[in-house]
């Protein structure tokens, strides 16, 4: 048996769950890398698209962004969160709908397990800087 | 200046998961990502599974916990090689943690690898580890209202194990209603009604594992869908 230690995010006990911290850490890594490549000295805004499927809280993302950007090219920038609503498609009658609650049940023909068309996004759309 | 990025936040994890998947495929290894709330009986199920499949399948276990090596020690006592990952506070395993742990495992010697995720019903669902199947566990002690409260894992699971059914007489757990609710979330999965204490349901579970290891369910792999 072996014991492995792993620290995926900077140690931090804030109001954000570790989950949100690690997502924001990958966002910052991504933007910092791109900023270097594009010779950007200061990032002013980061636009993030978050699908409804993920159920992450915008407040905890913002909180994590605030602390993890300190000392980086993103410090002081705005995190703009664009929500992407769920869109499902019935596997039986092809009706497209937004689910009412947690069940992916078609409101027209009552078939279950509708297919996810949209709402699982989690990506940096763009950022602005100078 | 505006720079379009368009890169997924989980892309680093997804590409490592893809590499893990190729590695597993090259070794013809069936891999299960076991996900449940803390204490619902993942390790107990693996201990029992290890003794029931002894001589039939070669098992390996990678187990994630925030701290301690207690679970790996329990599994090794059951006669199976285990690698413990300590996430130091991180609430889920990631594909690269698993990749590093795999360096300690002789994959060629195994038919079936379990990855026991960190006890958590929410976050592990978002992190693909390269597994063939996600298996959800829900223990009778947690209550039968949980599927509707945490639908994500049941939506993605290839199988759900209801554990600790020896406790049914002592709780208000409504088994038929619970199964019905999980089925409404995802009707395309296998159910196992088990107790690690009494042994109930474990032979069906092990038979399913043998089929999985034999490559039976490769066609409709839920785990490999993006
Ligand atoms: N009555 C009963 N108790 C069980 C059963 N399976 C597990 N337990 C008990 O439940 C407790 C937790 O079991 P574990 O196997 O450690 O659960 P786990 O999901 O691995 O827990 P974490 O790894 O901490 O998330 C232990 O005290 C077990 O003895 C069962 O089938 N019946
Ligand atoms: Mg355990
Ligand atoms: Zn989490
Ligand atoms: Zn329909």
Residue-level pLDDT at B90: 86
Residues 29-88 of B with CB under 8 A from A: 69, 72-73, 76, 81-88
ipTM, two decimals, is 0.78
Please check the confidence at residue B42 and state whether its pLDDT lies above 50. Answer: yes
B64 pLDDT above the threshold of 50: yes
CATH H-level superfamily of B4-213:
P-loop containing nucleotide triphosphate hydrolases (3.40.50.300)
- pLDDT tens-digit readout, B194-222: 999 999 999 999 999 999 999 887 654 44
Domain ranges of chain B: 4-213
Determine the Cα–Cα distance for residues B158 and B188; give it in Å rounded to an integer: 7
Q: Confirm or reject contact between B126 and chain A (CB < 8 A).
A: yes
pLDDT at residue number A5: 39
Task: Say if the Cβ atoms of B5 and A112 lie within 8 Å.
Answer: no
Q: How many CB atoms lie within 10 A of CB A9?
A: 20
The A residues from 21 to 80 touching B (CB cutoff 8 Å) are 22-23, 26-27, 30-31, 34-35, 38, 40, 48, 54-55
- The answer to whether the CB of B100 falls within 8 A of the CB of B83 is no
Strand intervals (E) in chain B? 2-8, 30-35, 59-65, 81-86, 112-116, 133-139, 159-163, 190-193
Please say whether the beta carbons of B62 and B117 come within 8 A.
Answer: no
Kindly list the protein residues that place their beta carbon closer than 5 angstroms to ligand 4, a single-atom ion: A 90, 92-93, 95, 106, 108-109, 111
Is B57 near ligand 1, meaning CB less than 6 Å away?
no
Q: What fold characterizes domain A2-85+118-129?
A: hypothetical protein PF0899 fold (3.30.2320)
Please name the residues in contact with B216: beta carbons below 8 A apart, sequence gap of 6 or more: none
More confident residue, A92 or A55: A92
Mean pLDDT over A22-44 rounds to 94
Please determine, for residue B40, whether its predicted confidence score (pLDDT) is greater than 70: yes
Q: State mean pLDDT over B118-144.
A: 95
Mark out the alpha helices in chain A (DSSP H runs). 18-37, 58-68
Tell me the pTM: 0.88
Three-class DSSP category at B80 = coil
Query: Residue A20 has what pLDDT?
Result: 81
pLDDT for A6: 36
3-state helix, strand and coil shares in percent for chain A, rounded to the nearest 5:
25, 30, 45
Structural domain boundaries of chain A? 2-85+118-129
**What is the C-alpha to C-alpha distance for residues A61 and B128, in angstroms, rounded to an integer?**
21
> pLDDT at position A58, please?
85
Residue A14 has pLDDT above 70, yes or no: no
pLDDT at A16: 56
């Amino acid at each position: 048996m072996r014991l492995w230690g792993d620290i995926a995010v900077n140690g931090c006990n804030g109001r954000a769950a570790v989950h949100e911290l690690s997502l924001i850490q990958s966002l910052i890594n991504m933007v910092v890398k791109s900023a270097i490549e594009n010779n950007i000295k200061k990032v002013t805004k980061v636009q993030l698209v978050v699908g409804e499927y993920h159920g992450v809280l915008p407040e905890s993302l913002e909180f994590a962004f605030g602390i993890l950007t300190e000392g980086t090219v993103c410090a002081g920038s705005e995190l703009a969160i664009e929500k992407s609503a769920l869109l499902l498609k019935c596997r039986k009658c092809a009706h497209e709908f937004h689910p009412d609650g947690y069940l992916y049940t078609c409101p027209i023909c009552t078939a279950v397990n509708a297919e996810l068309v949209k709402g699982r996004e989690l990506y940096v759309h763009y950022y602005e800087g100078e | 200046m505006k720079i379009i990025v368009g890169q997924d936040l989980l892309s680093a994890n997804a590409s490592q998961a893809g590499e893990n998947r190729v590695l597993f495929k090259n070794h013809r290894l069936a891999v299960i990502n076991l996900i449940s709330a803390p204490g619902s009986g993942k390790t107990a199920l693996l201990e029992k599974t290890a003794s029931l499949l002894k001589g039939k399948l070669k098992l390996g276990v990678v187990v994630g916990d925030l701290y301690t090596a207690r679970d790996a020690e329990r599994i090794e006592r059951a006669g199976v090689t285990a690698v413990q990952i300590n996430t130091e506070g991180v609430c889920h395993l990631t594909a690269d943690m698993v990749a590093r742990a795999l360096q300690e495992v002789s994959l060629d010697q195994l038919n079936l690898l379990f990855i026991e995720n960190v006890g958590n019903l929410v976050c592990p669902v978002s992190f693909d580890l390269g597994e063939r199947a996600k298996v959800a566990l829900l223990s009778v002690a947690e209550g039968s209202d949980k599927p509707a409260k945490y639908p994500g894992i049941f939506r993605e699971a290839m199988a759900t194990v209801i554990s600790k059914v020896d406790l049914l007489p002592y709780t208000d757990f409504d088994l038929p209603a619970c199964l019905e609710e999980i089925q409404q979330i995802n009707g395309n999965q296998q159910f196992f009604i088990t107790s690690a204490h009494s042994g109930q349901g474990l032979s069906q579970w092990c038979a399913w594992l043998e089929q999985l290891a034999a490559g039976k369910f490769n066609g409709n792999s839920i785990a490999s869908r993006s």
